[in-house]
Chain A
Amino acid sequence: MSFRETAPKVRPISEFKVPKISLSKSANGTSYFYEETPGIGAVSVFWLIPVAKQDQEKAFQALAAVELLLSGGGGLNEREILQHIENLGASVGNDSEQLYARIHFKCAKHVVETVFTWVLHHIEHAEYPKEELERFGIIQKASIERRMQTPGYWSDRKAKELLYAGLPWVGTFGSLEDFSRLDRNDLKLFHERFLKSSSGVLFFSGDIDPAQTARLLEIWESYSRAPFSWNVADEGVHLAPNKGEIISHSMPNASQVSMRWMKHVGILDERSSHEYTLLNMVLGGYFGSRLMQEIREKQGLTYGISSYFSPLWKGRTWNISGEMNSDNKDKAISAMSQIIEELQTHPIPLAELERAKRYYAGMFRSGFDGPFAQATKALQMLVRNYSESYYADTLDHIWDIDSAALLKLAQNELSTNSFVRVVAGDV
C-alpha cells in the first residue's frame, strides 16, 4: 500500500491566542486603531464616517458627496489635488457603503504625513464644482447602464425592491434621471452636516511609528470634530408581505438566467451569528457546500452558485444566487429546494459539520495574518457592533455548535416561502 493512499493527519485549529483588537482614544477623545509593522515601508490609513445612503434626502446624494470629496476645493481643482497625491506615489479611494463612508489611502512610510494633511485639507474644503457633478452623473449613468445588461443586476435589484419595499436605503435604487436632479447645494448640505469635520474613527496600520501616529491624530484634531455616533434614524426593517411565488424579470438580450433567493435576518447575538455562518457554509458558503457540490460539481448545471450574507443596518440579508442557462433553471431550482428541505429535516452529518468547522476555524485564524489584517478586524468590530471579547470567543463558539442547533436554525429560517424569489434574464 502506497503512503499516498492515506490522507496526512489534519490538526484542526482549536486554539489560537487572538491578538487583542480594540480601539484607543486620544487625549482629545478621537477613537482610533493602531498597529505597527516596522520595516515593510508600506502604510495603510483609513477612516470611517458613520454616514451613508440611509442619511440622504435625495437618490445618489450620499454617493456623490463622498465620491466627489476631492473634486475641488481649497483653491485647487480636482486635477491639481489628485496629481499631487499621485506624485507622492499614493492611492486614495472613497467608498460609500451601505452603513458608512470610508476614505482610505496607501502610501510609503516617508510620505504618510504629507498625504494625510493634503487629503484632509481638501476634504474639509470640498466645494463640489458644478461641472464635476455633471460629469459624475454622466459616468455613473453609463456605469449603471452597463450593470443593467447583466441578469445578476436585475435579480438583486428586484429581490431587494420586493423584500425591502419602502426602505429608502436598501429597497430603492433611484432612476438614472435622479442624477440630473442633484445639484451642488445638495452635496454641500450633505458635506456640511455629515462629512466636514466628521465624527470619524481612524485606522492606522503598516510601517507607521507611534510618533507619526500622534502627529496624524494632531492634524485630524486640528479640525473641530463631532463625537462619533451613527446618524441613522432607527426606522426598523418593515418587510413587504411575501406571497411565495417566483418573480420573473425578462431581458431580451440575455442567454442565461440569474436566480436569487433573498431574506432578511435581524440582529444576532455573537454566539448565534456563528451558527448562522456555519449553516450558510454548509448550504452554499464554500466550495465544499451542498449547493456547489450538487448543482455545479455533480450535475454541471452552473458555473457559479452560492449563498452569503450581506451586511445591513440592523441585521443582514441572506442571499442564495446562481447564474445558469435557462434550460437548466428548473433542474437547479428543484435541486436547491431539495437541499434546503434536507437541511430542515435531517441533522447535518458529523463529518460534514466537522469539515465546515475546520474550514471556518482555519479562515478565522488566517484572517489575522499580515500587517493590515487587524485594522480590518477592528473595522468589522465597529460596524457589526461586536464586543471586545468577540474574536477571543470565536473559536470556542464555533467548536461548541452541534448538528441539533443547526437543524433547529434551519427549521426556523430556511422555509422556501420565507425567501423572496426572483429569476431574471432569459425567461
Chain B
Amino acid sequence: MIDFNRFELSNGLRVIHQYDPNVSTVVLNTLYNVGARDESPERTGFAHLFEHLMFAGSQNVASFDKEIEGAGGQNNAFTNNEFTNYYISVPAENIETAFWLESDRMMGLNINDNSLNVQKGVVIEEFKQRCYNAPFGLLWHHVRDMLYQKSPYRWPTIGLTFDHISEASLADVQSFYQRFYSPNNAVISVVGNVSLEDCRLLTEKWFGDISISGEANSNVYPEENEWRPSRRTEEDLSPNPVVFIVWKGPDIRDEASLGLELYADVLGGSEVSNLYEVLVKEEGLCNAAECFYMRGIGEGLFMAYGILNEGVSHEQVENRLFEIMAESFDNPNTYAFESAKNKSYTQILFDPINPMSRAQKLAFWEHLGMPQMINSEAEQVKNVTIETAFATAKSLFQRENASVLYYNPKN
C-alpha cells in the first residue's frame, strides 16, 4: 500500500507527494498535459522539440543540466502522443535545487534564435538516427498513417518529417509555451525522503507565484472517420520481410483494456505463447512473433506481428496469424491466462520499488484523475475474468476489422 498526499495550489498546479524515508534522494516529476496530439499537422514533432528546448535555459538558469549535476542529481524527459514528462532525482539535502530549476522553466524560458537552431539540429539528428538508421525505424509512421485519417494520432511523436522541425520559428515556440506550459496544465509528483510539510512549503515557495498563462488543455481532438480497415505494403530498413496486424481498442481508463493486455500476453507475450510456439517453433515460418496491447489515453492499439524466415510469404504468415487468433477465441487457455495474471501481480510488486517509477506512475494517474490506481492495480488484475477478456478480444479483433501492413526490406 502506497500512502500518498494530494493538494492543489491556487494557480491550479496539482501536487502529489509520497514520503519514503528509506531512500537518500527525492524525485520531482513534472507532467504537462501536452503531447504530439496537440500539434498542428504542419508542425508535427513540435512537442518533442519543445522537450529539448526546456533544457536550453530559463529566466534565471543558464544551464539546467549543470545545475542539477552540481547538486549531485540527474534528470531527463520524454514525450509521447499524450503528455510530456520531465523528471529530476537529487540528493534529499539538495531538493530545493530541483524546485528552483523546475519552477523557473515553468515561469519563463529564455530561448533565442541561436538556441532554437541548435536544438532543431539536435532533434533532426535524433530523427535520422531513430527513423532512417535503425531497423523498423519508420514503422510507427506507417502504422499511424494507415489507422487514422483525421486524428492527430496519425503522426508519431518524433513527427511526420524533419522539415516540420526545420521550419519551426521562435514565434511558434513562444505561442506553444504560453498555451501549454502553464501550472493549471501540469501535475507534479514529489517522491522520496521529504516530509509532506517540507513538500508543501517548497511547492508554495517555488511554484505558488507562477501565473496561469493559458487554459488547461481540454483534450478535444478531431473526430476520427468511421473505422476503416486498410492494407499497405511499405519498404524500410529491415533484413527480413514482416507482417504487422493492428486494431484499435479501448482507453486505459476502461477496465476492458486490462483484459486485452492479459489476452495479448497469453496470445503472444512470451516464448511459450501460442504465436511464438506455432509460427517460430512448430512451423518455422518466422524468426520472431509476438503481440501486445498498448494501453493509451484516448484509445489503445493491439499489434501482432511476425518477422518472416527466408522463403516464407507475407500471405502465409498473415493467414496463420488470423487462424491462431480465431482458435484462441474459441479455446481460451485457462492455465496461460492464470500465468499472465500471476506475472502481472509480480510486476505490480516490483514496479513501485524504484522511486522514479513510483513518481512517474503517481503523476500519470493523478493526471487522469485516478491517483488511487497506484494501489488498486492488483485488485483490478484479480477481477479480470478469462471469459470477459477473451470475449472483448473476440469482439474487437476480427479479421474484417484488421489493418494489415506488409514490410519489405529496402534495397
State whether the Cβ of A254 lies closer than 8 Å to any Cβ in chain B.
yes
In the complex, per-residue mask of B125-144: 1 if CB is within 8 Å of any chain A CB, else 0: 11011001111000000000
Known: A4-B60, A13-B91. A83 touches B339 (CB 8 A): yes
- Contact A83–B272 (Cβ < 8 Å): yes
Chain A residue contacts of B237, Cβ below 8 A? 149, 253
Task: Look across to chain A and name the residue whose beta carbon is closest to the beta carbon of B240.
Answer: A142
Chain A residue contacts of B107, Cβ below 8 A? 4
Chain B residue contacts of A78, Cβ below 8 A? 271-272
* B194 CB, min distance to chain A CBs, angstroms: 14
Task: Look across to chain A and name the residue whose beta carbon is closest to the beta carbon of B96.
Answer: A8
Chain A residue contacts of B7, Cβ below 8 A? none
Chain A residue contacts of B145, Cβ below 8 A? none
* Distance in angstroms between the alpha carbons of A324 and B122 in the assembled complex: 9
Residues of chain B from 35 to 67 with CB closer than 8 A to chain A in the complex: 56, 59-60, 63, 65-67
* Distance in angstroms between the alpha carbons of A151 and B128 in the assembled complex: 12
- Contact A88–B70 (Cβ < 8 Å): no
State whether the Cβ of B148 lies closer than 8 Å to any Cβ in chain A.
no
- Contact A108–B133 (Cβ < 8 Å): no
In the complex, per-residue mask of B339-358: 1 if CB is within 8 Å of any chain A CB, else 0: 11011111001100111000
State whether the Cβ of A302 lies closer than 8 Å to any Cβ in chain B.
yes
Known: A5-B60, A86-B270, A256-B129. A286 touches B69 (CB 8 A): yes
Chain A residue contacts of B336, Cβ below 8 A? 83, 86
- Contact A362–B60 (Cβ < 8 Å): no
State whether the Cβ of A41 lies closer than 8 Å to any Cβ in chain B.
yes
- Contact A146–B238 (Cβ < 8 Å): yes
* Distance in angstroms between the alpha carbons of A325 and B96 in the assembled complex: 39
State whether the Cβ of B94 lies closer than 8 Å to any Cβ in chain A.
yes
Contact among A42, A354, A355 with B353 in the assembled complex (CB-CB below 8 Å)? A42
- Contact B94–A87 (Cβ < 8 Å): no
- Contact B122–A10 (Cβ < 8 Å): no
Residues of chain A from 28 to 85 with CB closer than 8 A to chain B in the complex: 40-42, 78-79, 82-83
In the complex, per-residue mask of B1-37: 1 if CB is within 8 Å of any chain A CB, else 0: 0000000000000000000001111000000000000
Chain B residue contacts of A131, Cβ below 8 A? 281
* A48 CB, min distance to chain B CBs, angstroms: 21
State whether the Cβ of A345 lies closer than 8 Å to any Cβ in chain B.
no
Known: A138-B309, A255-B128, A303-B129. A288 touches B66 (CB 8 A): yes
Chief secondary structure at chain A's binding surface: mixed
State whether the Cβ of B90 lies closer than 8 Å to any Cβ in chain A.
yes
Chief secondary structure at chain B's binding surface: helix
Known: A255-B128, A286-B69. A300 touches B281 (CB 8 A): no
Chain B residue contacts of A302, Cβ below 8 A? 122, 125
State whether the Cβ of B385 lies closer than 8 Å to any Cβ in chain A.
no
- Contact B72–A142 (Cβ < 8 Å): no
State whether the Cβ of B295 lies closer than 8 Å to any Cβ in chain A.
no
- Contact B70–A301 (Cβ < 8 Å): no
* B287 CB, min distance to chain A CBs, angstroms: 4
Give the segment of B113-121, B175-183, B389-397 that binds chain A.
Answer: B113-121
Known: A11-B93, A40-B353, A256-B129. A300 touches B119 (CB 8 A): yes
- Contact B118–A369 (Cβ < 8 Å): no
State whether the Cβ of A368 lies closer than 8 Å to any Cβ in chain B.
yes
Known: A79-B277, A107-B346, A138-B287. A362 touches B90 (CB 8 A): yes
Chain A residue contacts of B118, Cβ below 8 A? 297-300
- Contact A149–B239 (Cβ < 8 Å): yes
In the complex, per-residue mask of A323-367: 1 if CB is within 8 Å of any chain B CB, else 0: 111001000000000000000000000000011101101110110
* B78 CB, min distance to chain A CBs, angstroms: 14
- Contact A359–B70 (Cβ < 8 Å): yes
- Contact B280–A139 (Cβ < 8 Å): yes
State whether the Cβ of B100 lies closer than 8 Å to any Cβ in chain A.
yes
* Distance in angstroms between the alpha carbons of A287 and B287 in the assembled complex: 38
State whether the Cβ of B104 lies closer than 8 Å to any Cβ in chain A.
yes
Chain A residue contacts of B299, Cβ below 8 A? none
* A106 CB, min distance to chain B CBs, angstroms: 6
State whether the Cβ of A91 lies closer than 8 Å to any Cβ in chain B.
yes
Residues of chain B from 202 to 242 with CB closer than 8 A to chain A in the complex: 205, 237-240
* Distance in angstroms between the alpha carbons of A265 and B255 in the assembled complex: 54
Task: Look across to chain B and name the residue whose beta carbon is closest to the beta carbon of A296.
Answer: B122
- Contact A366–B346 (Cβ < 8 Å): no
Residues of chain A from 1 to 21 with CB closer than 8 A to chain B in the complex: 2-5, 7-13
- Contact A300–B24 (Cβ < 8 Å): no
Known: A149-B135, A303-B129. A361 touches B72 (CB 8 A): yes
* Distance in angstroms between the alpha carbons of A55 and B318 in the assembled complex: 43
* Distance in angstroms between the alpha carbons of A8 and B101 in the assembled complex: 10
* Distance in angstroms between the alpha carbons of A302 and B124 in the assembled complex: 9
- Contact A300–B100 (Cβ < 8 Å): no
- Contact A142–B239 (Cβ < 8 Å): yes
Known: A7-B100, A299-B118. A108 touches B69 (CB 8 A): no
Task: Look across to chain A and name the residue whose beta carbon is closest to the beta carbon of B107.
Answer: A4
- Contact B338–A362 (Cβ < 8 Å): no
Task: Look across to chain B and name the residue whose beta carbon is closest to the beta carbon of A40.
Answer: B353
State whether the Cβ of A25 lies closer than 8 Å to any Cβ in chain B.
no
- Contact A106–B350 (Cβ < 8 Å): yes
* Distance in angstroms between the alpha carbons of A79 and B271 in the assembled complex: 8
- Contact A150–B59 (Cβ < 8 Å): no
Chain B residue contacts of A145, Cβ below 8 A? 239-240
Chain A residue contacts of B277, Cβ below 8 A? 79
- Contact B335–A83 (Cβ < 8 Å): yes
Known: A361-B72, A365-B91, A366-B91. A82 touches B97 (CB 8 A): no
What are 6 A-to-B residue pairs whose CB atoms are below 8 Å? A10-B71, A86-B270, A131-B281, A143-B287, A253-B237, A304-B126
Q: A86-B336, A142-B240 are in contact. List 15 more A-B contacts (CB 8 A).
A: A8-B99, A79-B281, A83-B339, A89-B346, A90-B346, A108-B346, A143-B287, A146-B239, A149-B238, A256-B125, A256-B133, A287-B69, A358-B69, A362-B71, A369-B24
Closest 10 CB pairs of A and B: A362-B72, A300-B121, A89-B342, A300-B118, A8-B96, A145-B239, A303-B126, A142-B287, A287-B65, A89-B346
